[in-house]
Amino acid sequence: MRIGLILGDQLTPSLASLRVLDPACDQLIMAEVVDEATYVGHHPQKIALLFSAMRHFADELRQVGWKVHYHKYDPQSEYRSLLDVVTERVRSDAPSELVLTQCGEYRLQHAMDMEWQDHLGIPVTIYGDDRFLCSTSQFAAWADGRKQLRMEYFYREMRRDTGYLMKDGEPEGGQWNFDSDNRKRWDGKTPFPEAPVFSRDDIDRDVLALVREHFSHHTGNLTHFPWATRREQAEQALSFFIENALPAFGDFQDAMVRNEKALFHSLLSPYINCGLLTPRQVCDAAEQAWREGLAPLNAVEGFIRQIIGWREYVRGIYWLHMPGYAKENTLKNSRSLPHYYWDGDTRMACMADCFRNTFDNAYAHHIQRLMVTGNFALLAGILPEEICEWYLAVYADAYEWVELPNTLGMVMHADGGYLGSKPYAASGNYIHKMSDYCKHCDYQVKTRSDSDSCPFNSLYWHFIHRHEKEFSKNPRMAMIYRSFAKMQEDERQRTLDRAEHLLIHLEEL
């Protein structure tokens, strides 16, 4: 008899290890353990989503003949880690082998590779996670010899490999990328779809009660719980997005609107990342919508690019460069994360709205993460490890393999430009252009050196000034440095002085 361990982000019937094992003679372990639930302060909704989805998946497996040993969360349990649970099962049942699928976090995978077999005294066999469309070895071969990695070129290879939106070896529509069509401010007229509401069963109710009891001290609200926890519900969410939101997703994917949770975004990433949906399933549905004339090409291409482009790309970078990647800080940032990242109490309207959405829904869309909360951390010189921990903690779709490269590389440019050719730094003007936040703010977006000027404005120029050595020779930033040089000397100094004042009083914004 062999035994397989199924992790909380591996809730997929076609998982590699499940294909190897045999329900007629092998058994499975699933476990909710203290170490994994508390190593960062995960949002209560994220914990509830995973615990409930895990319990539903265990039932799904039992219904098709598997024997599943399920360890429910108990803060008093003597079994604190996954290894503790597996050790007890090996001791009691004496299996001949432990079978696993590669996990999504270096910390845990490294322990499995280096320690588990000796500790357990039985062979530990780990299969690659082929739910991803690019294996880690494929990515390493693509990256070999390249000084810098560019997602666009990787994405084109993925289009060729998968065949998505391709015809006779060429991209549909005659171009690879329709990003220039996908940067519109919301027009104020196109209605936002109302996301589906999912029914709750006894498993959901038990998990929600457990999370309220043991995790209410974690940042984030559990006053409502909007997430699908069963495969059929996640598939319902996919169908809803394809029919109701995908047609407008392309045009408005970068837009931000105050008090709106999702606009036309899919809300599918938590389900893809935990395994209730697969990348191919989601991309197939999006491509079919275009072929049937139900969604425009710019929307479908932009959506598929996020999955087979960015998602696969950041995973490849993660496994190629861990564990050293997590320690990168090439801009030598030193400031701690301000309190409002944890309590939302700030007079900056854009930041306050993104925090509200994050705490209420365990979600914020990619522009809110990149160009508001991330941009502010970049401009203010926040320690990469602190902002990385924050993103990992507060979002329902956050796992280290996807969160770390996106935050450390894309948001914070802490890897020296390996992931992105220029920092995603922007003044308040970008936020003003893409949202309605500024008209609700105490600060003035049109000025940069006054006492009530938007903090993003002076902090942006301070960032440009203090990192001139790193970026002045970057051809994509030459125009910015020419603008800075042309600024009147007294105005430049007032702007830098305003920024210095803000950095000293960062906690008061």
Token readout for 349 is: 């309207």
Phi and psi of 141, rounded to 5°? Answer: -65, -40
**pLDDT of 358:** 97
17 and 127 Cβ atoms separated by less than 8 Å: yes
Residues 305, 306, 308, 314, CA torsion sign: positive
**Residue 48 neighbours by CB under 8 Å, 6+ apart:** 207, 208, 211, 222, 225, 227
Stretches in the chain below the pLDDT threshold 70: none
How far apart, in whole angstroms, are the C-alpha atoms of residue 478 and residue 421? 13
Q: Helices 151-162 and 136-143, interaxial angle, to 10°?
A: 130
Which amino acid makes up residue 383? L
pTM (two decimals): 0.95
Contacts 24+ apart (CB under 8 A), 434-439: 434/183, 434/185, 434/254, 434/255, 434/256, 434/367, 434/371, 435/185, 435/255, 435/256, 435/257, 435/258, 435/350, 436/256, 436/257, 436/258, 437/256, 437/258, 437/349, 437/350, 437/353, 438/349, 438/350
DSSP secondary structure letter of residue 331: T
How far apart, in whole angstroms, are the C-alpha atoms of residue 143 and residue 137? 10
Which amino acid makes up residue 269? S
CB-based burial of residue 374 (10 Å sphere; 0-12 exposed, 13-18 middle, 19+ buried)?
buried
How far apart, in whole angstroms, are the C-alpha atoms of residue 120 and residue 122? 6
- Give the number of other Cβ atoms within 10 Å of residue 484's Cβ: 16
How far apart, in whole angstroms, are the C-alpha atoms of residue 393 and residue 355? 13
**pLDDT of 149:** 84
Name the pairing type of β-strands 166-167 and 170-171.
Answer: antiparallel
DSSP secondary structure letter of residue 477: G
Q: Which residues of 126-162 are buried (b: 16+ CB within 10 A; e: fewer)?
A: bbebebbbbbbebbeebbeeeeebebeebbebbbeeb
**Three-class SS state of 238:** helix
Q: Which helix (H) or strand (E) holds 320?
A: helix 312-321
Closest-CA residue to 198 (of 234, 223, 222): 234
